[in-house]
Chain A
Protein backbone atom coordinates (compact mmCIF):
# COMPACT_ATOMS: atom_id res chain seq x y z
CA UNK A 1 0.00 0.00 0.00
CA UNK A 2 1.33 3.43 -0.98
CA UNK A 3 0.02 6.59 0.71
CA UNK A 4 -0.04 9.85 -1.27
CA UNK A 5 -1.34 13.30 -0.43
CA UNK A 6 -4.53 14.23 -2.28
CA UNK A 7 -5.43 17.60 -0.74
CA UNK A 8 -5.33 19.70 2.43
CA UNK A 9 -7.36 17.09 4.36
CA UNK A 10 -7.26 14.05 2.10
CA UNK A 11 -4.88 11.14 1.56
CA UNK A 12 -5.18 8.54 -1.17
CA UNK A 13 -4.09 4.95 -0.61
CA UNK A 14 -2.96 2.97 -3.65
CA UNK A 15 -3.18 -0.79 -3.27
CA UNK A 16 -2.11 -1.83 -6.76
CA UNK A 17 -1.45 -0.49 -10.25
CA UNK A 18 -4.11 -2.64 -11.82
CA UNK A 19 -7.54 -4.04 -11.14
CA UNK A 20 -7.57 -7.30 -9.20
CA UNK A 21 -9.96 -9.08 -6.86
CA UNK A 22 -7.20 -9.34 -4.32
CA UNK A 23 -6.56 -5.61 -4.07
CA UNK A 24 -10.29 -4.97 -4.21
CA UNK A 25 -10.73 -7.16 -1.11
CA UNK A 26 -7.99 -5.20 0.67
CA UNK A 27 -9.62 -1.88 -0.26
CA UNK A 28 -12.92 -3.19 1.03
CA UNK A 29 -11.41 -4.30 4.33
CA UNK A 30 -9.65 -0.94 4.77
CA UNK A 31 -12.84 0.97 3.91
CA UNK A 32 -14.75 -1.00 6.55
CA UNK A 33 -12.03 -0.60 9.17
CA UNK A 34 -11.69 3.17 8.66
CA UNK A 35 -15.48 3.47 8.26
CA UNK A 36 -15.87 2.84 11.98
CA UNK A 37 -14.27 6.26 12.48
CA UNK A 38 -16.73 8.04 10.16
CA UNK A 39 -17.96 11.10 11.99
CA UNK A 40 -15.14 10.63 14.48
CA UNK A 41 -12.47 12.40 12.50
CA UNK A 42 -13.06 10.67 9.14
CA UNK A 43 -15.34 12.74 6.91
CA UNK A 44 -15.72 10.43 3.92
CA UNK A 45 -14.19 7.46 2.10
CA UNK A 46 -14.15 6.84 -1.65
CA UNK A 47 -13.12 3.30 -2.57
CA UNK A 48 -12.33 2.73 -6.24
CA UNK A 49 -10.61 0.21 -8.53
CA UNK A 50 -7.18 0.18 -6.92
CA UNK A 51 -7.33 3.04 -4.43
CA UNK A 52 -9.12 4.45 -1.41
CA UNK A 53 -9.49 8.21 -0.87
CA UNK A 54 -9.63 9.14 2.83
CA UNK A 55 -11.03 12.59 3.65
CA UNK A 56 -10.53 13.63 7.26
CA UNK A 57 -11.31 16.44 9.67
CA UNK A 58 -8.14 18.53 9.96
CA UNK A 59 -9.34 19.88 13.28
CA UNK A 60 -8.94 16.33 14.64
CA UNK A 61 -6.01 14.94 12.66
CA UNK A 62 -2.98 16.35 10.95
CA UNK A 63 -1.13 14.63 8.12
CA UNK A 64 1.19 12.66 10.43
CA UNK A 65 -1.56 11.46 12.76
CA UNK A 66 -3.72 10.35 9.82
CA UNK A 67 -0.81 8.47 8.20
CA UNK A 68 -0.20 6.75 11.48
CA UNK A 69 -3.85 5.77 11.87
CA UNK A 70 -3.86 4.34 8.33
CA UNK A 71 -0.61 2.42 8.82
CA UNK A 72 -1.74 0.99 12.15
CA UNK A 73 -5.06 -0.06 10.63
CA UNK A 74 -3.25 -1.68 7.68
CA UNK A 75 -1.03 -3.70 10.04
CA UNK A 76 -4.04 -4.91 12.02
CA UNK A 77 -5.78 -5.97 8.81
CA UNK A 78 -2.67 -7.84 7.59
CA UNK A 79 -2.58 -9.88 10.76
CA UNK A 80 -6.22 -10.90 10.37
CA UNK A 81 -6.60 -13.95 8.15
CA UNK A 82 -10.32 -13.61 7.59
CA UNK A 83 -11.21 -11.28 4.78
CA UNK A 84 -14.65 -9.89 4.27
CA UNK A 85 -16.46 -11.40 1.30
CA UNK A 86 -19.01 -9.19 -0.39
CA UNK A 87 -22.47 -10.61 -1.03
CA UNK A 88 -23.49 -12.13 -4.38
CA UNK A 89 -26.38 -10.44 -6.14
CA UNK A 90 -28.16 -11.71 -9.23
CA UNK A 91 -29.58 -9.02 -11.48
CA UNK A 92 -32.22 -10.00 -14.06
CA UNK A 93 -31.70 -8.63 -17.58
CA UNK A 94 -34.02 -8.50 -20.57
CA UNK A 95 -31.67 -8.70 -23.57
CA UNK A 96 -34.46 -8.31 -26.18
CA UNK A 97 -33.94 -6.19 -29.32
CA UNK A 98 -36.12 -3.30 -28.11
CA UNK A 99 -34.12 -3.13 -24.86
CA UNK A 100 -30.68 -3.44 -26.43
CA UNK A 101 -29.99 -0.83 -29.12
CA UNK A 102 -26.25 -1.59 -29.32
CA UNK A 103 -26.28 -5.38 -28.96
CA UNK A 104 -26.35 -6.16 -32.68
CA UNK A 105 -23.50 -3.77 -33.47
CA UNK A 106 -21.41 -4.99 -30.54
CA UNK A 107 -21.89 -8.61 -31.66
CA UNK A 108 -20.86 -7.75 -35.22
CA UNK A 109 -17.73 -5.91 -34.14
CA UNK A 110 -16.86 -8.79 -31.80
CA UNK A 111 -17.45 -11.38 -34.53
CA UNK A 112 -20.06 -13.16 -32.42
CA UNK A 113 -23.80 -13.79 -32.57
CA UNK A 114 -26.01 -11.74 -30.24
CA UNK A 115 -26.82 -14.95 -28.34
CA UNK A 116 -23.12 -15.57 -27.78
CA UNK A 117 -22.67 -12.04 -26.44
CA UNK A 118 -25.59 -12.55 -24.05
CA UNK A 119 -24.19 -15.89 -22.89
CA UNK A 120 -20.70 -14.50 -22.34
CA UNK A 121 -22.12 -11.50 -20.42
CA UNK A 122 -24.01 -13.87 -18.11
CA UNK A 123 -21.21 -16.37 -17.65
CA UNK A 124 -19.01 -14.05 -15.59
CA UNK A 125 -19.25 -13.16 -11.91
CA UNK A 126 -18.43 -9.46 -11.67
CA UNK A 127 -16.99 -7.45 -8.84
CA UNK A 128 -18.40 -4.03 -7.87
CA UNK A 129 -15.15 -2.05 -7.94
CA UNK A 130 -16.43 1.48 -7.55
CA UNK A 131 -19.60 3.53 -7.20
CA UNK A 132 -19.70 6.99 -8.71
CA UNK A 133 -20.42 8.99 -11.87
CA UNK A 134 -24.04 9.24 -10.67
CA UNK A 135 -25.83 8.17 -7.47
CA UNK A 136 -25.90 4.36 -7.39
CA UNK A 137 -23.83 3.85 -10.55
CA UNK A 138 -21.69 0.75 -9.85
CA UNK A 139 -18.70 -0.06 -12.05
CA UNK A 140 -18.61 -3.85 -12.45
CA UNK A 141 -15.67 -5.78 -13.82
CA UNK A 142 -14.16 -7.37 -15.58
CA UNK A 143 -16.01 -8.17 -18.77
CA UNK A 144 -14.72 -11.10 -20.86
CA UNK A 145 -12.28 -9.71 -23.44
CA UNK A 146 -14.34 -11.16 -26.29
CA UNK A 147 -17.20 -8.72 -25.60
CA UNK A 148 -15.17 -5.75 -24.31
CA UNK A 149 -16.02 -2.70 -26.44
CA UNK A 150 -14.87 0.95 -26.29
CA UNK A 151 -17.37 3.70 -25.52
CA UNK A 152 -19.39 5.04 -28.43
CA UNK A 153 -17.76 7.99 -30.18
CA UNK A 154 -20.89 10.10 -29.68
CA UNK A 155 -22.43 9.68 -26.24
CA UNK A 156 -26.23 9.46 -25.98
CA UNK A 157 -27.98 12.43 -24.40
CA UNK A 158 -30.32 10.13 -22.48
CA UNK A 159 -29.53 6.54 -21.61
CA UNK A 160 -32.68 4.94 -20.14
CA UNK A 161 -32.95 3.99 -16.47
CA UNK A 162 -32.02 0.33 -15.98
CA UNK A 163 -29.89 0.14 -19.13
CA UNK A 164 -27.30 -2.64 -18.91
CA UNK A 165 -24.17 -1.46 -20.65
CA UNK A 166 -20.58 -2.28 -21.54
CA UNK A 167 -17.58 0.07 -21.83
CA UNK A 168 -14.17 -1.52 -22.34
CA UNK A 169 -13.95 -4.28 -19.74
CA UNK A 170 -16.58 -2.75 -17.48
CA UNK A 171 -20.28 -3.34 -17.28
CA UNK A 172 -22.96 -1.41 -15.35
CA UNK A 173 -26.65 -0.79 -14.87
CA UNK A 174 -27.66 2.88 -15.27
CA UNK A 175 -29.56 3.79 -12.07
CA UNK A 176 -31.37 6.74 -13.66
CA UNK A 177 -31.77 8.46 -17.00
CA UNK A 178 -28.48 10.18 -17.77
CA UNK A 179 -26.16 11.00 -20.64
CA UNK A 180 -23.71 8.21 -21.39
CA UNK A 181 -21.46 6.67 -24.01
CA UNK A 182 -21.60 3.02 -22.99
CA UNK A 183 -22.90 0.27 -25.33
CA UNK A 184 -26.44 -0.71 -24.32
CA UNK A 185 -27.14 -4.44 -24.40
CA UNK A 186 -30.23 -4.88 -22.22
CA UNK A 187 -32.52 -3.56 -19.49
CA UNK A 188 -32.65 -4.48 -15.81
CA UNK A 189 -35.99 -4.03 -13.96
CA UNK A 190 -34.34 -3.76 -10.50
CA UNK A 191 -34.04 -0.21 -9.12
CA UNK A 192 -30.33 0.46 -8.64
CA UNK A 193 -30.89 3.64 -6.62
CA UNK A 194 -33.97 4.58 -4.65
CA UNK A 195 -33.56 7.50 -2.24
CA UNK A 196 -36.82 6.50 -0.51
CA UNK A 197 -35.54 3.05 0.44
CA UNK A 198 -33.03 1.86 3.05
CA UNK A 199 -30.57 0.75 1.88
CA UNK A 200 -30.98 2.89 -1.20
CA UNK A 201 -28.87 0.52 -3.31
CA UNK A 202 -29.08 -3.27 -3.75
CA UNK A 203 -25.27 -3.51 -3.77
CA UNK A 204 -22.15 -1.83 -2.44
CA UNK A 205 -18.50 -1.84 -3.48
CA UNK A 206 -16.92 -5.24 -2.90
CA UNK A 207 -20.11 -7.16 -3.72
CA UNK A 208 -20.31 -9.67 -6.57
CA UNK A 209 -22.86 -9.53 -9.35
CA UNK A 210 -24.22 -12.05 -11.83
CA UNK A 211 -26.63 -11.25 -14.64
CA UNK A 212 -29.46 -13.60 -15.56
CA UNK A 213 -31.52 -13.40 -18.75
CA UNK A 214 -35.29 -13.00 -18.34
CA UNK A 215 -38.12 -12.92 -20.86
CA UNK A 216 -40.02 -9.82 -21.86
CA UNK A 217 -43.02 -11.01 -19.79
CA UNK A 218 -40.85 -11.49 -16.71
CA UNK A 219 -39.24 -8.10 -17.27
CA UNK A 220 -42.61 -6.38 -17.45
CA UNK A 221 -44.03 -8.30 -14.47
CA UNK A 222 -41.02 -7.14 -12.40
CA UNK A 223 -41.95 -3.54 -13.10
CA UNK A 224 -39.66 -3.01 -16.08
CA UNK A 225 -40.72 -0.45 -18.66
CA UNK A 226 -40.05 -0.45 -22.39
Chain B
Protein backbone atom coordinates (compact mmCIF):
# COMPACT_ATOMS: atom_id res chain seq x y z
CA UNK B 1 0.00 0.00 0.00
CA UNK B 2 1.40 3.38 -0.88
CA UNK B 3 1.97 5.83 1.95
CA UNK B 4 -0.92 8.24 2.25
CA UNK B 5 0.17 11.84 2.65
CA UNK B 6 -1.23 13.47 5.77
CA UNK B 7 -4.64 14.96 5.08
CA UNK B 8 -4.64 18.72 4.64
CA UNK B 9 -0.99 19.37 4.06
CA UNK B 10 1.48 20.92 1.68
CA UNK B 11 4.23 18.59 0.47
CA UNK B 12 7.55 20.02 -0.62
CA UNK B 13 8.78 18.56 -3.93
CA UNK B 14 11.71 20.98 -4.11
CA UNK B 15 12.66 23.47 -1.38
CA UNK B 16 14.79 25.54 -3.80
CA UNK B 17 17.74 27.52 -2.49
CA UNK B 18 16.43 28.03 1.07
CA UNK B 19 12.89 27.61 2.37
CA UNK B 20 12.23 28.43 6.03
CA UNK B 21 9.14 28.43 8.19
CA UNK B 22 8.91 31.88 9.78
CA UNK B 23 6.59 33.92 11.95
CA UNK B 24 7.43 37.44 13.16
CA UNK B 25 10.31 36.04 15.21
CA UNK B 26 11.33 34.95 18.67
CA UNK B 27 10.91 37.96 20.93
CA UNK B 28 12.21 38.34 24.48
CA UNK B 29 14.59 35.35 24.51
CA UNK B 30 17.94 37.14 24.16
CA UNK B 31 18.79 36.43 27.79
CA UNK B 32 19.22 32.74 27.06
CA UNK B 33 21.17 33.50 23.92
CA UNK B 34 18.39 32.97 21.38
CA UNK B 35 18.31 35.29 18.39
CA UNK B 36 15.13 36.68 16.80
CA UNK B 37 14.88 34.97 13.41
CA UNK B 38 11.71 35.94 11.54
CA UNK B 39 11.23 37.37 8.05
CA UNK B 40 14.15 39.32 6.54
CA UNK B 41 11.58 41.55 4.80
CA UNK B 42 8.77 41.82 7.37
CA UNK B 43 6.74 44.15 5.15
CA UNK B 44 6.31 41.66 2.31
CA UNK B 45 5.74 38.95 4.93
CA UNK B 46 2.91 40.91 6.55
CA UNK B 47 1.18 41.56 3.23
CA UNK B 48 1.31 37.89 2.28
CA UNK B 49 -0.57 37.16 5.51
CA UNK B 50 -3.03 40.05 5.04
CA UNK B 51 -3.88 38.80 1.55
CA UNK B 52 -4.87 35.47 3.15
CA UNK B 53 -6.92 37.22 5.85
CA UNK B 54 -4.52 36.01 8.54
CA UNK B 55 -3.61 37.51 11.87
CA UNK B 56 -0.50 39.62 12.01
CA UNK B 57 2.47 37.30 12.41
CA UNK B 58 0.80 34.06 11.29
CA UNK B 59 3.30 31.40 10.23
CA UNK B 60 4.35 31.58 6.57
CA UNK B 61 7.36 30.47 4.51
CA UNK B 62 10.32 32.58 3.45
CA UNK B 63 11.96 31.53 0.19
CA UNK B 64 15.40 32.90 -0.58
CA UNK B 65 16.08 33.28 -4.33
CA UNK B 66 13.33 30.74 -5.19
CA UNK B 67 13.26 27.47 -7.07
CA UNK B 68 10.50 26.07 -4.86
CA UNK B 69 7.89 23.43 -5.81
CA UNK B 70 5.09 22.11 -3.59
CA UNK B 71 1.82 20.21 -3.84
CA UNK B 72 -1.39 20.77 -1.88
CA UNK B 73 -3.57 17.93 -0.57
CA UNK B 74 -6.43 20.26 0.37
CA UNK B 75 -8.22 23.29 -1.05
CA UNK B 76 -7.02 26.56 0.42
CA UNK B 77 -5.99 30.11 -0.40
CA UNK B 78 -2.41 31.22 -0.72
CA UNK B 79 -0.56 34.44 -1.51
CA UNK B 80 2.98 35.18 -2.67
CA UNK B 81 4.71 38.51 -2.12
CA UNK B 82 8.25 39.85 -2.13
CA UNK B 83 10.95 39.37 -4.77
CA UNK B 84 9.67 39.37 -8.36
CA UNK B 85 9.49 35.80 -9.59
CA UNK B 86 7.60 33.69 -12.06
CA UNK B 87 4.84 31.83 -10.19
CA UNK B 88 3.00 28.92 -11.77
CA UNK B 89 0.01 27.00 -10.52
CA UNK B 90 -0.38 23.73 -12.47
CA UNK B 91 1.88 25.18 -15.15
CA UNK B 92 -0.17 28.35 -15.59
CA UNK B 93 1.29 31.75 -14.65
CA UNK B 94 -0.42 33.43 -11.71
CA UNK B 95 0.22 36.88 -10.20
CA UNK B 96 2.10 37.79 -7.02
CA UNK B 97 0.47 40.09 -4.45
CA UNK B 98 -2.88 38.36 -5.14
CA UNK B 99 -4.83 35.84 -3.11
CA UNK B 100 -4.86 32.63 -5.12
CA UNK B 101 -7.35 29.79 -4.69
CA UNK B 102 -5.74 26.37 -4.86
CA UNK B 103 -7.41 22.96 -5.07
CA UNK B 104 -6.30 19.63 -3.66
CA UNK B 105 -3.69 18.20 -6.03
CA UNK B 106 -2.53 21.58 -7.34
CA UNK B 107 1.20 22.09 -7.90
CA UNK B 108 2.82 25.44 -7.08
CA UNK B 109 6.11 26.38 -8.74
CA UNK B 110 8.09 29.43 -7.71
CA UNK B 111 10.80 30.39 -10.20
CA UNK B 112 14.05 32.16 -9.37
CA UNK B 113 13.74 35.82 -8.41
CA UNK B 114 14.49 38.22 -11.26
CA UNK B 115 14.43 41.23 -8.94
CA UNK B 116 14.85 41.01 -5.16
CA UNK B 117 15.82 38.02 -3.06
CA UNK B 118 13.13 36.98 -0.51
CA UNK B 119 9.71 35.63 -1.45
CA UNK B 120 6.92 34.99 1.06
CA UNK B 121 4.32 32.25 0.78
CA UNK B 122 1.35 32.49 3.13
CA UNK B 123 -1.68 30.20 3.38
CA UNK B 124 -5.11 30.85 4.84
CA UNK B 125 -4.98 30.47 8.64
CA UNK B 126 -1.18 30.26 8.65
CA UNK B 127 0.77 26.99 8.81
CA UNK B 128 -0.15 25.34 12.15
CA UNK B 129 3.34 24.67 13.54
CA UNK B 130 4.09 24.20 17.25
CA UNK B 131 6.04 27.20 18.54
CA UNK B 132 9.31 26.87 20.44
CA UNK B 133 10.12 29.62 22.92
CA UNK B 134 7.00 31.42 21.75
CA UNK B 135 7.74 31.38 18.03
CA UNK B 136 7.74 29.10 14.99
CA UNK B 137 10.66 31.01 13.36
CA UNK B 138 13.34 28.66 12.07
CA UNK B 139 16.90 29.51 13.08
CA UNK B 140 19.02 26.78 11.50
CA UNK B 141 22.18 27.79 13.41
CA UNK B 142 20.35 27.23 16.71
CA UNK B 143 18.38 24.21 15.47
CA UNK B 144 15.26 25.93 16.88
CA UNK B 145 11.80 26.48 15.39
CA UNK B 146 10.15 25.33 12.18
CA UNK B 147 10.09 21.55 11.84
CA UNK B 148 12.86 20.17 14.12
CA UNK B 149 14.89 23.34 13.64
CA UNK B 150 15.67 22.48 10.01
CA UNK B 151 15.18 24.25 6.71
CA UNK B 152 12.45 22.63 4.58
CA UNK B 153 13.67 19.70 2.50
CA UNK B 154 12.37 17.62 -0.39
CA UNK B 155 9.53 15.54 1.02
CA UNK B 156 8.82 17.80 4.02
CA UNK B 157 5.11 17.67 4.86
CA UNK B 158 3.71 20.88 6.31
CA UNK B 159 0.23 20.85 7.86
CA UNK B 160 -2.42 23.27 6.63
CA UNK B 161 -5.14 24.99 8.67
CA UNK B 162 -8.81 24.26 7.99
CA UNK B 163 -10.02 26.31 5.10
CA UNK B 164 -13.14 28.34 4.46
CA UNK B 165 -14.14 30.31 1.37
CA UNK B 166 -13.03 33.94 1.65
CA UNK B 167 -12.79 36.72 -0.93
CA UNK B 168 -9.70 36.88 -3.11
CA UNK B 169 -7.78 40.12 -2.71
CA UNK B 170 -4.94 41.95 -4.38
CA UNK B 171 -2.47 44.63 -3.40
CA UNK B 172 -2.78 47.63 -5.77
CA UNK B 173 0.43 48.02 -7.74
CA UNK B 174 1.14 51.53 -6.46
CA UNK B 175 1.67 50.16 -2.95
CA UNK B 176 3.99 47.31 -3.91
CA UNK B 177 7.66 47.83 -3.10
CA UNK B 178 10.18 48.30 -5.86
CA UNK B 179 13.43 46.43 -5.38
CA UNK B 180 15.29 48.77 -7.72
CA UNK B 181 15.00 51.86 -5.54
CA UNK B 182 18.34 53.59 -5.25
CA UNK B 183 17.51 55.51 -2.10
CA UNK B 184 20.26 55.38 0.52
CA UNK B 185 19.95 53.00 3.46
CA UNK B 186 19.29 55.02 6.61
CA UNK B 187 21.50 54.52 9.66
CA UNK B 188 20.92 55.82 13.18
CA UNK B 189 24.35 56.81 14.48
CA UNK B 190 25.16 55.15 17.76
CA UNK B 191 27.23 52.64 19.74
CA UNK B 192 30.97 53.41 19.13
CA UNK B 193 30.17 56.06 16.48
CA UNK B 194 32.53 58.53 18.21
CA UNK B 195 35.49 56.18 17.71
CA UNK B 196 35.46 56.69 13.92
CA UNK B 197 37.30 59.71 12.56
CA UNK B 198 35.34 62.46 10.82
CA UNK B 199 37.25 61.57 7.66
CA UNK B 200 36.27 57.87 7.83
CA UNK B 201 32.66 58.77 8.63
CA UNK B 202 32.43 61.24 5.75
CA UNK B 203 33.81 58.54 3.46
CA UNK B 204 31.43 55.93 4.82
CA UNK B 205 28.36 58.10 4.21
CA UNK B 206 29.37 59.29 0.75
CA UNK B 207 30.71 56.13 -0.90
CA UNK B 208 29.17 53.18 -2.71
CA UNK B 209 29.34 49.81 -0.98
CA UNK B 210 28.75 46.50 -2.73
CA UNK B 211 26.85 43.49 -1.39
CA UNK B 212 29.46 40.71 -1.14
CA UNK B 213 28.93 36.96 -1.50
CA UNK B 214 28.85 36.75 2.27
CA UNK B 215 25.22 37.73 2.63
CA UNK B 216 22.93 35.53 4.65
CA UNK B 217 20.31 35.65 7.37
CA UNK B 218 22.96 36.45 10.01
CA UNK B 219 24.27 39.49 8.23
CA UNK B 220 25.23 41.22 5.00
CA UNK B 221 28.90 41.90 4.48
CA UNK B 222 29.51 44.87 2.22
CA UNK B 223 32.72 45.88 0.48
CA UNK B 224 33.91 49.41 -0.18
CA UNK B 225 36.20 52.07 1.29
CA UNK B 226 37.77 51.02 4.59
CA UNK B 227 36.27 52.51 7.70
CA UNK B 228 38.09 51.76 10.92
CA UNK B 229 37.42 52.47 14.57
CA UNK B 230 40.17 53.72 16.87
CA UNK B 231 39.11 51.04 19.35
CA UNK B 232 41.24 47.91 19.07
CA UNK B 233 39.53 45.74 21.63
CA UNK B 234 36.28 46.01 23.50
CA UNK B 235 34.02 43.96 25.74
CA UNK B 236 31.29 41.97 24.02
CA UNK B 237 27.93 43.72 24.19
CA UNK B 238 24.35 43.33 23.00
CA UNK B 239 23.79 43.72 19.25
CA UNK B 240 20.51 45.20 18.04
CA UNK B 241 18.87 44.51 14.68
CA UNK B 242 20.61 46.33 11.82
CA UNK B 243 23.76 47.10 13.83
CA UNK B 244 26.67 47.94 11.52
CA UNK B 245 29.79 46.26 12.76
CA UNK B 246 33.22 47.27 11.49
CA UNK B 247 35.84 44.60 12.19
CA UNK B 248 39.58 45.42 11.88
CA UNK B 249 39.46 45.00 8.06
CA UNK B 250 37.21 48.08 7.92
CA UNK B 251 34.48 46.42 5.83
CA UNK B 252 30.96 46.81 7.23
CA UNK B 253 28.68 43.94 8.25
CA UNK B 254 25.00 44.76 8.73
CA UNK B 255 23.70 42.33 11.36
CA UNK B 256 20.28 40.91 10.63
CA UNK B 257 17.65 38.48 11.91
CA UNK B 258 19.83 35.46 12.77
CA UNK B 259 22.72 37.51 14.24
CA UNK B 260 24.46 36.44 17.41
CA UNK B 261 23.02 38.40 20.31
CA UNK B 262 26.38 39.68 21.63
CA UNK B 263 29.64 40.59 19.94
CA UNK B 264 32.81 42.54 20.44
CA UNK B 265 33.46 44.59 17.28
CA UNK B 266 32.98 48.38 17.15
CA UNK B 267 29.73 49.55 15.57
CA UNK B 268 28.76 52.73 13.71
CA UNK B 269 25.09 52.54 14.74
CA UNK B 270 22.21 50.59 13.26
CA UNK B 271 20.25 50.60 10.02
CA UNK B 272 16.51 51.14 10.48
CA UNK B 273 14.33 48.03 10.00
CA UNK B 274 12.52 49.58 7.04
CA UNK B 275 15.85 49.68 5.22
CA UNK B 276 17.25 46.34 6.41
CA UNK B 277 14.10 44.95 4.73
CA UNK B 278 15.28 46.59 1.48
CA UNK B 279 18.87 45.43 1.99
CA UNK B 280 17.68 41.86 2.60
CA UNK B 281 16.04 41.96 -0.83
CA UNK B 282 19.44 42.61 -2.46
CA UNK B 283 21.66 39.99 -3.98
CA UNK B 284 25.41 39.85 -4.41
CA UNK B 285 26.89 42.65 -6.54
CA UNK B 286 24.23 45.31 -5.82
CA UNK B 287 25.57 48.66 -4.67
CA UNK B 288 24.20 50.67 -1.77
CA UNK B 289 24.86 53.98 -0.02
CA UNK B 290 24.25 54.97 3.58
CA UNK B 291 22.63 58.05 5.05
CA UNK B 292 23.06 59.11 8.69
CA UNK B 293 19.87 60.03 10.52
CA UNK B 294 19.05 60.81 14.14
CA UNK B 295 16.97 58.55 16.39
CA UNK B 296 14.27 61.25 16.38
CA UNK B 297 14.14 61.20 12.56
CA UNK B 298 13.92 57.41 12.61
CA UNK B 299 10.99 57.61 15.02
CA UNK B 300 9.17 60.09 12.79
CA UNK B 301 9.84 57.91 9.72
CA UNK B 302 8.41 54.88 11.52
CA UNK B 303 5.29 56.63 12.80
CA UNK B 304 4.51 58.21 9.43
CA UNK B 305 5.13 54.98 7.51
CA UNK B 306 2.88 53.01 9.87
CA UNK B 307 0.21 55.65 9.44
CA UNK B 308 0.43 55.42 5.63
CA UNK B 309 0.49 51.62 5.69
CA UNK B 310 -2.62 51.54 7.85
CA UNK B 311 -4.45 53.30 5.00
CA UNK B 312 -3.55 50.75 2.34
CA UNK B 313 -6.70 48.95 1.22
CA UNK B 314 -6.53 45.61 -0.52
CA UNK B 315 -8.86 45.29 -3.52
CA UNK B 316 -11.25 42.44 -4.13
CA UNK B 317 -10.57 40.48 -7.34
CA UNK B 318 -13.70 38.29 -7.25
Q: How large is the interface on A (under 10, 10 to 19, 20 to 34, 35 or more residues)?
A: 35 or more
* Main secondary structure on B side of the interface with A: mixed
**Given A12-B238, A44-B27, A44-B28, A130 and B144 touching (CB < 8 A)?**
no
Q: Which of A10, A38, A134 is B142 in contact with, Cβ under 8 Å?
A: A134
Whether B299 and A62, one on each chain, are in contact in the complex, defined by CB atoms closer than 8 angstroms, is yes
Whether B32 and A136, one on each chain, are in contact in the complex, defined by CB atoms closer than 8 angstroms, is yes
Does B11 touch A at the CB level, under 8 Å?
no
Kindly specify which of A47-55, A70-78, A82-90, A180-188 makes contact with the partner chain: A47-55
Whether B33 and A131, one on each chain, are in contact in the complex, defined by CB atoms closer than 8 angstroms, is yes
Whether A8 and B31, one on each chain, are in contact in the complex, defined by CB atoms closer than 8 angstroms, is no
Q: How far is the CB of A67 from the nearest CB of chain B, in Å?
A: 10
Q: How far is the CB of A165 from the nearest CB of chain B, in Å?
A: 16
Tally chain B residues at the interface, Cβ within 8 Å: 43
Whether B238 and A139, one on each chain, are in contact in the complex, defined by CB atoms closer than 8 angstroms, is no
Q: Which of B28, B237, B262, B296 is A39 in contact with, Cβ under 8 Å?
A: B28
Whether A49 and B237, one on each chain, are in contact in the complex, defined by CB atoms closer than 8 angstroms, is yes
**Given A7-B270, A12-B191, A49 and B31 touching (CB < 8 A)?**
no
A50 to B33, CA, bound (A): 17
Q: Which of A168-218 contact B (CB under 8 A)?
A: 176, 193, 195, 200-201, 204-205
Q: Which residues of B contact A22 (CB under 8 A)?
A: none
A176 to B143, CA, bound (A): 10
Q: How far is the CB of B235 from the nearest CB of chain A, in Å?
A: 4
Q: Identify the closest chain B residue to A38 (Cβ).
A: B28
Whether B240 and A55, one on each chain, are in contact in the complex, defined by CB atoms closer than 8 angstroms, is yes
Whether A135 and B34, one on each chain, are in contact in the complex, defined by CB atoms closer than 8 angstroms, is yes
Whether A8 and B270, one on each chain, are in contact in the complex, defined by CB atoms closer than 8 angstroms, is yes
Q: Which of A9, A18, A50, A133 has the most CB of B within 10 A?
A: A9
Q: Which residues of A contact B189 (CB under 8 A)?
A: 5
Whether A6 and B240, one on each chain, are in contact in the complex, defined by CB atoms closer than 8 angstroms, is yes
Does A43 touch B at the CB level, under 8 Å?
yes
Q: How far is the CB of B293 from the nearest CB of chain A, in Å?
A: 9
Q: Which residues of A contact B273 (CB under 8 A)?
A: 8
Whether A53 and B237, one on each chain, are in contact in the complex, defined by CB atoms closer than 8 angstroms, is yes
Q: Which residues of A contact B239 (CB under 8 A)?
A: 46, 53
Q: Which of A141-160 contact B (CB under 8 A)?
A: none
Contacts A44-B30, A45-B30, A134-B33 aside, 16 further interface pairs with beta carbons under 8 A come to: A5-B189, A5-B191, A6-B238, A6-B269, A8-B299, A31-B31, A43-B27, A44-B29, A53-B239, A55-B30, A131-B32, A131-B33, A133-B262, A134-B260, A135-B34, A136-B33
The chain A residues found within 8 Å of chain B, CB to CB, are: 4-10, 12, 18-19, 31, 38-39, 43-53, 55, 58-59, 62-63, 130-137, 139, 176, 193, 195, 200-201, 204-205
